Chains A and B, each alone.
Chain A
Amino acid sequence: MENQTERWLTYKDASAEALLMAMEKDENVFLIGEGADHINGIGGQCLPAIRKFPERVIDTPLSENGLTGFCIGAALNGMRPVLIHQRDDFMLLAMDQMFNQAAQLRYASGGRHKVPLTILSFIARRPGEGVTHSHSLQSIFAHFPGIKVGMPATAMDAKGMLLRAIFDDDPVIILEHRHNPLYEQKGSVPEPYFETPLTSQIQFSGEDITIVTVSIALLDAVNAGHELSGGDRISSEIIDLRWLRPLDIEPIIKSVKKTKKLLVVDTGWKSCSISSEIVALVAEQAHGYLQCPPRRITLPDAPCPASQYLEPLYHPNPEMIIRAVEEMVK
């Protein structure tokens, strides 16, 4: 519902605005990545920054691990680099620099070195992309102390979380989701500078079940929630996790104590994952409150197929959520 007090932007434009705003605020902020300075590079997300600060948008050789190290070096001299990878799959090439180095240097230097590095990347989800272009790798990244991991699921957070990341004094990974219902979807985004706090967010209050969502799973849960609140009259409390590290578990525990049921919906795999972590924490902190076993909707335990016939079967969808909720709330 557009009105005069609210400004509506797409998720993508909100993120682009954050990049530009950060560069306006601090001359030490620069964007660097493969194709970062192309007009249509990074989905056009760097375009406002390219127009205003061309000297601070750096196109690079294809060297993901090296680039991460270059950014660490620049950060050690007071810069605030935003390293952009076109897909999070490429981040696997930079694991050493991200986790052996960036995540540990503050600790290993007794707090004297800060690495204010932002790593911005994207989860793609399109037919034909196949096994190496559609990963959702957030759970691996969130394993390491010393580096924050955020996944915006609204246009507002696409701006606020990115600004929070860029002006954090420690390394932060931001994984945006490129799937179109989210990426091109408009939401209310305040015009001035703001940062999203390091907390999870109750997007809808409800009584019958707690649904914790990661990234774009929020949209599926919201669609499912609308459906369920109709004929079935099931009221879902939907919590957008936003940050995997630090993990803000308190609102989830509180919600589960109220609803007595937990469903986690993630865009990644199930084993050793953020969904495992949330269920484990709820088991540790709210075990006696649960009226039925917690459930998880995630990717199946297989790589992502390229075929347009198989790929749609691969991802979580609202129907899966509706089915699970109906079984849990009888």
Chain B
Amino acid sequence: MGTNELWELYFEMLRIRMVEERLTDWCNLKLVNAPVHLSIGQEAVAVGIMAALNPEDKIISGHRCHAHYLAKGGDLKKMFAEILGKATGCCKGKGGTMHLFDDEAGHVISAPLVAASISFAVGLALSFKMKGENKVAVAFFGDGAVEEGIFWESVNFASVFHLPVLFVCENNLYATHSHILQRQPSENITERVGPHKINAHRISDGNNVLLVKEVAKAKVELVRKGQPCFIEACTYRLREHWGVGEDWDLGYRSREEGEKWMEKSPLKQAERTLTNHISTPEELCSKIKKMEEKIKKEIDEAEEFAFNSPQPPKEDLLSEVG
């Protein structure tokens, strides 16, 4: 793995983190009237997987979609505007934070409710196969989604029809406030997916972006040949289920548990690795600082665009119903 490659991945993760930190500021200032679901702590999965895809490959996501949107190249201005309910948002303000998509970037759609959109990726893959398009469809979802029937319907169908689809499960241990062992027979989801003749792989450290990318590259190659694959990336949500605060006080998980994961958060891990490849800590700091300045500029511009964008006109209430 070259250092440059890790720097590039680090940049993408840092960008996602800084965007969501800005959203945190907005929420604290009560500028956002919506339940944002932050990916802080889980950035390595989105960035690692996306690094293994071609630009023409397509992804779908669910309610926690910000990181996927950004990592796939989604337009930040349209994202900010959408979250603020503005007419210039990617959904003209009508979809909101949980419906982010950018067709040009290959992020086809995000759709809550939990697990619902997994099936869209299978349908995309079916259409690729029928039309003879050499593309891969990727579904992103959480550990709670595998408790839904439609996940197993999707896995079964993809297997039987040999569809070019990659299932990516971000196992962050909690569905809202319920621990996985209260909901499933084990923390290991992969061992239950494999028997469906899906090539299934568990990345026990899904916060290691290089590792995620390496696994993803191998799996995407298989997917392109018509072997559906499943990646379970173990990770951890550092913020509350929705909203921008921490929630250690709720009692469903401990601060000690959280602190362990903070130590191996995607950014910290990457920084440690980069330190080993760079002459001095000062050099690392200065390089990161430069990245932060670049990203801050982009975020400032997008923020200005979103703040200054018009509200949707009243007639949009009843338009595009079908």
Residues of A bordering B, CB below 8 Å:
30, 55-56, 60-61, 63, 65-79, 96-97, 100-101, 103, 105-113, 145-148, 170-171
Contacts and interface: CB of A to CB of B under 8 A. Distances in A.
Interface of B: 58, 60, 89-96, 99, 101, 103, 108-109, 111, 113, 116-128, 130-131, 137, 149-150, 153-154, 156-157, 160, 319-322
Contact of B321 (A76, A107, A112): A107
A65 B153 contact: yes
A150 B95 CA distance: 28
A106 B109 CA distance: 11
Given A96-B113, A108-B91, A108-B94, A61 B123 contact: no
Contact of B119 (A72, A77, A106, A112): A72
B127 A69 contact: no
Given A61-B156, A69-B120, A105-B111, A79 B127 contact: yes
A73 B322 contact: no
A97 B154 CA distance: 13
Contacts of A30: 130
A65 B119 CA distance: 9
B95 A100 contact: no
Given A73-B126, A97-B116, A108 B99 contact: yes
Contact of A60 (B108, B111, B124, B157): B157
B322 A78 contact: no
Nearest to B137: A73
B153 A61 contact: yes
A109 B320 CA distance: 9
A110 B116 contact: no
A73 B127 contact: yes
A69 B122 contact: yes
B101 A109 contact: yes
Nearest to A103: B322
A70 B126 contact: yes
A197 B123 CA distance: 30
Contact of B123 (A63, A69, A100, A148): A69
Which residue of B90, B95, B123 has the most chain A CB atoms within 10 A of its CB atom? B123
Q: Give the 4 A-B CB pairs with smallest separation, nearest first.
A: A73-B123, A69-B119, A66-B153, A110-B92
A74 B126 CA distance: 7
Contact of A69 (B95, B96, B101, B118): B118
A130 to B, nearest CB: 24
Given A100-B113, A100-B116, A76 B123 contact: yes
A106 B322 contact: yes
A61 B320 contact: no
Given A146-B322, A170-B322, A112 B103 contact: yes
A285 B247 CA distance: 54
Contacts, number: 141
A148 to B, nearest CB: 8
A176 B99 CA distance: 34
B89 A73 contact: no
B320 A107 contact: yes
A76 B91 contact: no
A111 B90 CA distance: 10
B293 to A, nearest CB: 33
Contact of B91 (A63, A109, A146): A109
A214 B57 CA distance: 46
Given A79-B130, A96-B116, A73 B90 contact: no
18 contacts: A30-B130, A61-B153, A65-B149, A65-B153, A67-B153, A67-B157, A70-B154, A72-B120, A72-B123, A73-B122, A73-B126, A74-B130, A76-B108, A78-B127, A105-B109, A109-B91, A145-B322, A146-B321
A12 B90 CA distance: 44
Contacts of B321: 106-107, 145-146
A253 to B, nearest CB: 22
A105 B94 CA distance: 10
A148 B321 CA distance: 11
A106 to B, nearest CB: 5
A112 B156 contact: no
Contacts of B103: 112
A73 B119 contact: yes
A71 B123 CA distance: 6
A125 B192 CA distance: 41
A96 B109 CA distance: 17
A101 B111 contact: yes
A150 to B, nearest CB: 14
Given A73-B124, A103-B322, 6 more contacts: A70-B154, A74-B124, A74-B127, A79-B127, A101-B120, A170-B322
A35 B254 CA distance: 51
A281 B128 CA distance: 46
A111 B92 contact: yes
A76 B58 CA distance: 11
A109 B322 CA distance: 12
Contacts of B130: 30, 55-56, 74, 79
A107 B121 contact: no
A187 B247 CA distance: 67
A258 B263 CA distance: 79
Contacts of B126: 70, 73-74
A110 B320 contact: yes
Nearest to A32: B126
B123 A106 contact: no
Nearest to B128: A77
